[in-house]
Amino acid sequence: MPPSDDRSGGARRGRRIRPLSPERLREAALHYLGQRDASRAQLRRVLVRRVDRAVAVHGQPREPLIEAIDALLADFARLGYLDDARYAEVQARSLRRRGASTRAIRAKLAERGVAAELVDDAIETRGDVELVAALRHLRRRRHGPFAREDREPDRAKELASLGRAGFSYELAARAWALPRAEAEALLDG
């Protein structure tokens, strides 16, 4: 095995870490956003991590690159490439469709750096949204009303699963106890 290049900085797959410039940061940010949607804080974390690797390998000054990141983020927000409100709405809707509780959605979006006010605006609160999310969670795991006929349900474990997913005990017990036909009607409606 050939000796490792001391300028690689431990980059994966043998890629070399090149010195950074504002133009390279812009290219990296556009590439990242081309692959996935991101919050402003999430993109900033990715770019700062890249800057820190380049600083460690090449000894570049960190502050001008951090200032370039801040200017880039402001420019992307102005152009509409970064919109935390839109990001929060899309992510909340997606997580809700997969059966995530309001508490889980708040935690996931906070982890991604979305402001609490934007999260509050993005989360649906109408009707039985939380109950429907709990039913989706149960259906995905084949628990409660969606349990297979040949399996004896374990109520305590299944309710604990809902609790870990962020649903209140009262809501979890209500969703778990629904008859299958009523649960399916709620999911279809």
At 151, the pLDDT band (50, 70, 90 cuts) reads: confident
Q: Using alpha carbons, select from 46, 49, 22 the residue that is nearest to residue 34.
A: 46
Query: Residue 188 belongs to what H/E stretch?
Result: helix 180-188
Tell me how far CA of residue 158 lies from CA of 15, 91, 129, in angstroms. Answer: 46, 26, 20
Q: What is the pLDDT of residue 13?
A: 59
At 34, the pLDDT band (50, 70, 90 cuts) reads: very high
Q: Using alpha carbons, select from 113, 49, 120, 45 the residue that is nearest to residue 84.
A: 113
Q: What is the pLDDT of residue 14?
A: 56
Q: What is the pLDDT of residue 4?
A: 47
Instruction: Give phi and psi for 128, each to the nearest 5.
Output: -100, 40
pLDDT tens-place string over residues 122-132: 987 776 888 99
Can you give the residue ranges of every domain in the chain?
A: 16-79, 84-122, 129-188
Whether residue 41 is predicted with pLDDT greater than 80 in this model: the reply is yes
At 98, the pLDDT band (50, 70, 90 cuts) reads: confident
Instruction: Give phi and psi for 7, each to the nearest 5.
Output: -95, 0
